[in-house]
Structures are given as structure tokens and as C-alpha cells.
Structure 1
């Protein structure tokens, strides 16, 4: 599991829900699902790059993160960077005084 972008060993919580008529079934906890979401790491990587960390430097600040390898970081930045550029291009600058 990833915790704050770092790989951590976690015992997966197992929860069973009683359906009322006898049989039970396993349910996934929402907190566990959110904790293992790779979106957290991706947001941290993009924030690091926006703050001035090079794509190569991300692996140095997140050495235990499986998604912080150079090809992954580069691909992620290309995707995020293109969204930033599109947002800037769509912005109406007519009301801005330079």
C-alpha cells in the first residue's frame, strides 16, 4: 500500500458484513480504498515539479515510491503540463491590464 506516496507494509483490513439472514460477505473499507489510490502520489509528484524539482529529482525525494521512476514521472508531467497549458490558453485575458 502507498502511504503519502511511500510504499508501506500494511495488513489489509478484512471486514465482513452480515446480510441479516445468516450469510456474510466481505466488504472493502472506503478508507483502505482511498489510501491505496495512486492519485495521491501523482498529485505529490506534480506539486514537486511545479515547485521546481526536476523530473530526475523526484526519485531522490521519493526513493521508496514505485511511481517515482523517471519514465513514470516524465509521462505524468507531460499529461499534467498539457492540462496547465490548455487551461492557460482558455483563459480570457481581455480584462487584464499589463
Structure 2
């Protein structure tokens, strides 16, 4: 093999190794950045849930308070089409499902 070819191959392998190192460190940096962002978002979510603040301000600077209340269900209905005692006229209890 001529000397120029061996030098070219050596340079090529050195550049490839350097490129791989740069890519690996770039991936590690992106992974670390993703982890930090994820932690910050998770902490921010916990803080806003703890204070129950919406974080939305009205034009005058006061906080927007929603008038909607979370749903609270008073009764559970049971539906079981494979139960031989199921009927549309039943009360929907576990013993007598719809």
C-alpha cells in the first residue's frame, strides 16, 4: 500500500473516531438536558397542584378563578350483559345489573 493511502486511511479513522466521540458526547448532553427539563416540569406541576392556582392572570393582574367544580358522582350503575339476571328494568345494582 502506498504511503499516501495509509496516511489517508489513518486520517480518516482518526476523524471518524473524533466524530463518534463528538456524537456520543452530544447525545449525552442532550440526554442530560432532557432529564433536567423533565425534572423542572415535574416539580412545577407539583407546585401548581399543591397551591391549586391556575397560573392564569386576567388583564388587571388578578388570578383567574374558575367557577367549575370537579365532578362528583353520587351513584354507580352496574351493567353486565352476560348476567342471566340482567334486565333494563333492574335498578343497576351489582346483584341486579342492567
TM-based fold match above 0.5: no
Comparing both structures, which one devotes a greater share of its residues to strand?
1
Instruction: Point out the structure with max Rg over C-alpha.
Output: 2
TM-score by length of 2: 0.28
Higher helix share: 2
Structure possessing the higher relative contact order (Cα contacts under 8 Å, 6 or more residues apart): 1
